[in-house]
Amino acid sequence: MSIPGLTLPGLTLSNAPPPTSAPSPTSRTHTLPPRTEYRFESPPHSPLTIKLLSGTAELFGTELAPQVPYNFQHAKGAVYTWHGCVLEITGAADGEYVAEETPMGQYANLHFALEGMRNAAEMGGGIGPRVCVVGPAGSGKTSLVRILTGYAVKARRQTVVVNLDPGMGMLSVPGTLSAATFASLVDVEEGWGSSPISGPSVVPVKMPLVYHLGSAVPEENARLFKGLVTRLALAVTSRLDEDGDVRAGGCVVDTSGSVASGKGGYELIQYIVSEFSVTTLIVLGSERLYSSLKQLYPPGSPTSILKLDKSGGCVDRDESWMRAARQAQIREYFFGRGAVTLSPYTQMLDFASTSIFRVSGPATSSAFDPGASSTADDDDEYEPEVYGSAQDKITPSLALQNSLLAVTHADPSESADEIRMASVMGYVYVADVDEGKKKLRVLSPVSARVPAKALLWGGFPEDVVDLVG
């Protein structure tokens, strides 16, 4: 720092250059030929803005509006054009390029084939195609599901989308399984859109059915995963049977990459196919998986197998990137994103008025552990009777701090099975635990008091230490 009128021998403090302002974000244009796509990876701490200047383009099946800036942060995506376009890009990107070889032609043909099935179901009064997408991690399963959903919406269909990948939540936080009917545009910036929490939305909000798994992958608690899959399948089937607007649209099921690893002979894939009565099983990015499933579902079986190419833009994401993405998703749940900011509410809860139940992992013997067994030959079959009674209520402690609690629809007096299999109202964040005063300070997305329902606490997703000050 330079002090006027004062200089020190040997030092040039008075000659220090004035502070410079940060450079403005650089803007550039990309001219995309027909049937090409602009692939990008946006950094975690600064937005990348994309604006369609001319032509037509889409992101995962949803068209971009002309002259509208779309902001992306800590995201990977691909803007595709069928007829050519000009994009304006503002901000630094961790990676970007224009690709000429894409599988979008295959994906569009798949959509038209599914649309033919929907037309046949509509004419015959039956249920539309029930599609399940499987493949290794990083093969583009969620991207394909979003593309098929976006195309179905543009065809004026209402399709049920089911997320069975607890690693990243759909319309919820990570660690959940969910289902929702999509009848309106899929949000370009937010991915699947938003659920009715506490703020406005550009597109209509979705009403998801959410269950709390509390594990990063289904295999960590396969027995509970199967039970929740059954619950979701019953709800989806009931919706398809009773709602005429949704019946012909069918459903699309997204899965975790871990179920395609081959451990256990693809038992979880077979279970999902059986529970949802899947008619079309799509395999992405694995010749071995496709060959194995063809043996399980030979020609003539009710389930047909289709192999599609993996997009060249799909890359493996390391654990640090996934962890940052999960924490960003939790922040958005409470605080919103971009121009749409949410204002969560702080509440104080007494230890005595809260009923918190621990979600035990498969290695811990507990009445609340769906995988607990007194025998060594655990076949991972879903057996609700092993849950026992709801006696795993825990006393709040500092271990809860910085973690999420699932607010279920179950009463604390219900059995452990009923509590563990109950759907979720929403989530609260434990900001502070005062063991002396026996108080919990929680962050809630809505202003209403936290209901006197059973709360679930598990080991996933990870704690978010700096969510609030």
Q: Which residues are annotated as a binding site for ATP?
A: 37, 76, 138-143
Within 10 Å of residue 30's Cβ, how many Cβ atoms?
18
Give the whole-angstrom CA distance, residue 325 versus residue 331.
Answer: 10
**One-character DSSP codes across 384-421:** GGGG-SS--EE---GGGTT-EEEEESS-TTS-HHHHHT
Q: Which amino acid is at 392?
A: D
Give the whole-angstrom CA distance, residue 228 versus residue 222.
Answer: 10
Binding site listing: 37, 76, 138-143
Give CA 199 to chain center in angstroms: 19
**Whether the Cβ atoms of residue 442 and residue 428 lie closer than 8 Å to each other:** yes
**Whether the Cβ atoms of residue 128 and residue 160 lie closer than 8 Å to each other:** no
**One-character DSSP codes across 412-457:** TTS-HHHHHT-BEEEEEEEEEEETTTTEEEEEESSSSPPPSSEEEE
Within 10 Å of residue 171's Cβ, how many Cβ atoms?
24
List the 424-434 sheet strands across, edge first: 345-350, 439-444, 424-434, 404-408, 454-457, 355-358, 393-394
Give the whole-angstrom CA distance, residue 129 versus residue 280.
Answer: 7
Give the whole-angstrom CA distance, residue 183 versus residue 258.
Answer: 30
List the 95-99 sheet strands across, edge first: 62-63, 58-59, 76-81, 36-41, 95-99
**Whether the Cβ atoms of residue 27 and residue 90 lie closer than 8 Å to each other:** yes
Give the whole-angstrom CA distance, residue 395 versus residue 454.
Answer: 13
Within 10 Å of residue 267's Cβ, how many Cβ atoms?
16
254-260-266-269 Cα dihedral, nearest 10 degrees: 0
